[in-house]
Structure 1
Amino acid sequence: MNLRSRPAKDRILDAANRLFYSDGIRAVSVDAIAAKAGITKKTLYYHFKSKDDLIEAYLASRDQPNLTLFKTWFDEADGGLADKVEAIFRNLAVSARHPKWKGCGFLRTAAELANMPGHPAMKVGAAHKKKFEAWLSDVFTRQNLADPEDLARHIVLLMDGAFSTVLVHRDAAYVDSAGRAAKALVAGGRRRS
């Protein structure tokens, strides 16, 4: 299928995904997105009333695919619960070693919008992180672990810390280390009585 045969809105989101992720939301202009999508700026504004709306849609379009990917890595991993949690980190470390990897798009966007806590994209990013945490909590609850919400929060902190540290040091071994810590936390979790 050639580029022009896809709906304009899909082409705009694809272009926004590529450019915002690779270069950051502030560095990328609406003109650049329109050009990458093969449409006019007027067409872009027909589908998205502002750049802020496009940033929000960009993150929303990454939400379910990212959550699905984490769940797939978890489900396909061998071993027990702790091994499956570590597998999420192990797969993230593989991704982080790719030359085009730029970290977590949600965290990078939040950093760029830190002075705008009410921005719609900040709400999308926060909701995404909460969905991942809630999913982990549900997994831990079904495994009868005590304090599943607290354990899920610890895992999220390890993951987001690993994302940030890898961007600073450009060393995916930090994700591997965070994965080992997550595995130890889950393995050491006590069962509810």
Structure 2
Amino acid sequence: MARSGIPTRERIISAANALFYNDGIRGVSVDAVAAKAGVTKRTLYYHFKSKDDLVAAYLAARDQPNLALFRQWFSETKGGLPAKVEAIFLNLARSARHPKWRGCGFLRTSAELANMPGHPAIKIGAAHKKKFEEWLRATFEAEGTAGPLRLARQVLLLLDGSFAVVLLHRDPSYMETAGEAAHALIEAALPVRGKRRAR
């Protein structure tokens, strides 16, 4: 336990999160993470056997908070299913306007580790995207949409595609446009009763 009251492992992950997200996996050394966490390199390696292990822990720590935030934006939005899903895109577009926004940490990490498909961080990133897809599928299925799995994958593709394009152009309006497309797809897939409620 660190003197700050925050467990040492958590402090290291927090430091890694800030540095990896801002500067990329390859751009940040283990020494830099240790320095930011206020620990020695030896202490860092006591908690994480390698940099790969630390990268995996960094992504694992982002998994549930990110999914919870998507569900929160969804549940807090008034209106029907299309508006609730579109709200995820609109909130992400607002986040993308912040100067410290660097896109999706899972996608950026997978791009950096593209030549290492067996890397544990790649598996964590893939599992994260699958959890989001499964949540959408279950939500669409409960609402009686046509082809819930196909629809969930279409929305996921719109979301991840918008992450990439917004990062490239630095224009969050692409994410808003993707949200409009998701809204239209879901509206078209709803049963008649759902369409009335969505309006």
Fold match by TM threshold 0.5? yes
SS at match of 1:108: helix
Post-superposition offset of 1:15: 0.1
What stretches of structure 1 move > 3 A for 4+ residues in a row?
Answer: none
How many residues align? The count is 191
Asked whether the 8 Å contact 2:143–2:190 carries over to 1, the reply is no
- State the SS of the aligned residue for 1:106: helix
Q: Residues of 2 paired with 1:190 and 1:143: CA distance?
A: 7
Q: Is the 8 A contact 1:93 1:172 kept in 2?
A: yes
Q: Distance in 1 between matches of 2:121 and 2:162?
A: 22
Name the residue aligned to 1:141: 141
Contact 2:90 2:176 in 1 (8 A): yes
Contact 1:19 1:33 in 2 (8 A): yes
Q: Secondary structure at 2:25's aligned position in 1? A: coil
Unaligned runs of 5+ in 1: none
In structure 1, distance between residues paired with 2:114 and 2:101: 22
RMSD: 1.2
> 1:76-104: CA deviations, max 9, x gaps?
00110000000000000000000000000
Residue 178 (structure 2) pairs with residue 167 (structure 1): no
Q: How many Å apart are 1:6 and its aligned residue? A: 1.4
Q: Distance in 2 between matches of 1:168 and 1:132?
A: 23
Number of the residue aligned with 2:13 = 13
Task: Assess if the C-alpha contact under 8 Å between 2:107 and 2:125 holds in 1.
Answer: yes
Give the structure 2 partner of residue 70 of structure 1: 70
Q: Distance in 2 between matches of 1:37 and 1:5?
A: 13
- Aligned counterparts of 1:3 and 1:74: Cα–Cα separation in 2: 39
Kept in 2, the 8 Å contact 1:146–1:191? The answer is: yes
1:162/1:175 contact within 8 Å kept: yes
Corresponding residue number in structure 1 for 2:116: 116
TM superposition shift of 1:190: 4.2
What residue identity is the alignment partner of 2:168?
V
Give the alignment's TM-score, normalised by structure 1: 0.97
Q: C-alpha separation between the residues in 2 aligned to 1:64 and 1:144?
A: 26
Query: Cα distance, 1:4 vs. partner?
Result: 3.2
* Aligned amino acid, residue 38 of structure 1: G
Q: Tell me how far apart the structure 2 counterparts of residues 191 and 128 of structure 1 sit (CA, whole Å).
A: 29
